[in-house]
Structure 1
Amino acid sequence: MGQPGEIGALLTVTGLGAVLGAALGGVGGLLGIGGGLLAIPVLALWFGMDQSMAQGTALVMIVPNVLLAFYRYRQHHAIPLSRALGLGGIAMLASYPAARLAVGLDHHTLQWVFIGFLLGLCVYLCWLVARPPRAHAPQPRVLSARYLPVVGVVSGVFSGLFTVGGGLVATPMLVRGFGHRQAAAQGLALALVVPGSLIALSTYASAGQVSWSLGLPMALGGLSTISWGVACARRLPERWLRSVFIGFLLVTTALMWPG
């Protein structure tokens, strides 16, 4: 058995992780982006983790959240399983080399790449907020369905390199590029993220870039509140939520900017 001091420290980390996970899960559900994207800068800034360790630990929280979201989605929406499995397999293959690249990069390079990702996400969300609202109708298809594997590759690369963002990039690609309805696109995006996240977690863990003692209680805490956050989001204007998220991303980017 460990010494009393070690046991006390472990209990403290476990409790802190559960509280932090609950907060991130609730806010992530409210903003519609899950807790993973929020967890990475929090782990880097508050816990002093380098970028790779923060991303790997956040994956411990991301994987069960994505699995729960996919399960809930399957209860209410039909997802073509053959297409989901095919694209998910492609995303899995693409996520492994991207994750290997991420764990091999030095801390500062990966941090700059992640900052670039956050700024790009800000630009995209600003465009969504600024554009006029439109009816929820299917978009005209621009690309042939034979190019759908590209969506799997892009989603897998984002899942492996950043551990987050696979669904964020896959959904607009499916809607605007292939004419999918929003609901169908979100379901397929979840199917892409699940296998890519599992492969990325395995890769980060094998490289020793995961803090399980903090990540597991964060995952349990996040699962307990993410549904509450989603329920609250339904009562608030979507543009207001996106504007709050943009503000959070800008503040986070400024704090992560190397001094």
Structure 2
Amino acid sequence: MFALVLDFCFGIAMGALGGFFGIGGGLIAIPVMTLLYGQSQTLAQGTALIMMVPNVVLAFWRYQQRTPLNWSLAIPLGSAALISAGIGAKVATSLDARTIQVGFALLMLLLAGMNLFRARLITGSKAMARTSSWRLAALGGGCGALGGFFGVGASVVAVPILTTVFGLSQVAAQGMALSLALPSSLMTLLTYGTQGHVDWQMGLAMALGGLLSVSWGVRWAYRAPEKLLCGLFSCFLTVSGVLLLSRQ
């Protein structure tokens, strides 16, 4: 019973941070679950997805209340991510967990660098750059495959690209990225679950806690200065990536 309460409280913290950074909490929860809970990389990824799916749904709704989504842009993103996420997850469940952990740590460091670069470029709010459906589909497919492979949802990869390449502000990119995170996270959870890489009891307790706090995180994200948002996200990614690599 105590373990379930602890998992529930952990879910509250991850939900708030996931809403704040627009990533559903998985990128934050996975390194904590491997470093502190001692779970294997694939089990942590699969379990975190149970929390991520409802968190992403709620965060998506909250972001759309503040920044309505352009569906002509979101549909190519989400459709391509749905297809590629299952492929990425299938590959991940067939590989050694330590190999995936090293790749996960390197991904976090890469994303940290991209966000720091983005923070240096921020000069004010920007509009969406001109683009096309095939470019968005390519982005959705690539991000979906990486999100499925690492069990973090496609939004964590998409956000820095949407800001640096497509010209969105941080909060607008976070909202747009959630449109591809939802279908890809559902497909990834299905794949991890059927392969037995999920702790359902822990994940459901975390999901309940996360649903209570996601809205708080979204509210804080819209109040925080954009450079601060980018900087905090980058710092967390860097520290987590270094700690994961140090365990090898």
State yes or no: 1:224 paired with 2:212: yes
Per the alignment, residue 96 of structure 1 pairs with: 86
Deviations 1:1-57 (A, max 9, x none): xxxxxxxxxx22211110111122223334444421110011111111100000000
Per the alignment, residue 228 of structure 2 pairs with: 240
TM-score (norm 1): 0.84
Per the alignment, residue 25 of structure 2 pairs with: 35
State yes or no: 1:113 paired with 2:103: yes
Q: Distance in 2 between matches of 1:247 and 1:178?
A: 23
Per the alignment, residue 196 of structure 2 pairs with: 208
- In structure 1, the gaps of 5 or more residues are 1-10
TM-score (norm 2): 0.87
Q: Alignment partner for residue 156 of structure 1, among 127, 144, 165?
A: 144
Q: Distance in 1 between matches of 2:231 and 2:171?
A: 22
Is residue 138–residue 175 contact of structure 1 (8 Å, CA) maintained in 2? no
Q: Distance in 2 between matches of 1:188 and 1:44?
A: 29
Paired-residue identity, %: 42
Q: Alignment partner for residue 14 of structure 2, among 21, 24, 34?
A: 24
Counterpart of 1:136, as a letter, is S
Shift of 1:108: 1.2
Is residue 82–residue 187 contact of structure 2 (8 Å, CA) maintained in 1? yes
- In structure 2, the gaps of 5 or more residues are none
Shift of 1:111: 0.7
Between structure 1 and structure 2, the one with the greater Rg is 1
Is residue 56–residue 210 contact of structure 1 (8 Å, CA) maintained in 2? yes
State yes or no: 1:250 paired with 2:210: no
Deviations 1:156-181 (A, max 9, x none): 11220112251233344445545667
Q: What secondary structure, in the 3-state scheme, does the structure 2 residue paired with 1:104 have? A: coil
Aligned length: 247
Q: What secondary structure, in the 3-state scheme, does the structure 2 residue paired with 1:194 have? A: helix
Deviations 1:133-168 (A, max 9, x none): 323232543x54433220120121122011225123
Counterpart of 1:20, as a letter, is F
